[in-house]
Amino acid sequence: MRRFMGGVVVAGALVGFALPAFAAVPDGLKVAQANACMGCHAVDRKLVGPSFKDVAAKYKGDGAAEARLEKKVRDGGVGVWGAIPMPSHPAMSAADIHSVVGWVLAGAPSK
11 binds ligand HEC (CB under 6 A): no
40 binds ligand HEC (CB under 6 A): yes
What residues have CB less than 8 Å from 40, skipping those under 6 apart? 47, 48, 49, 86
Q: How far is the CB of 21 from ligand HEC (least distance, A)?
A: 24
What residues have CB less than 8 Å from 75, skipping those under 6 apart? 88
37 binds ligand HEC (CB under 6 A): yes
Check if the beta carbon of residue 103 is closer than 8 Å to that of residue 38. no
Residue from 7, 16, 63, 79 touching ligand HEC (CB under 6 A): that is 79
CA distances (Å), origin 98, targets 20, 70, 85, 94? 24, 6, 20, 6
Residues that bind ligand HEC (CB under 6 A): 32, 35-37, 39-41, 48-50, 55, 69, 72-73, 77-82, 84, 86-87, 89, 100, 104
Residue stretches of the annotated binding site for heme c: 37, 41, 86
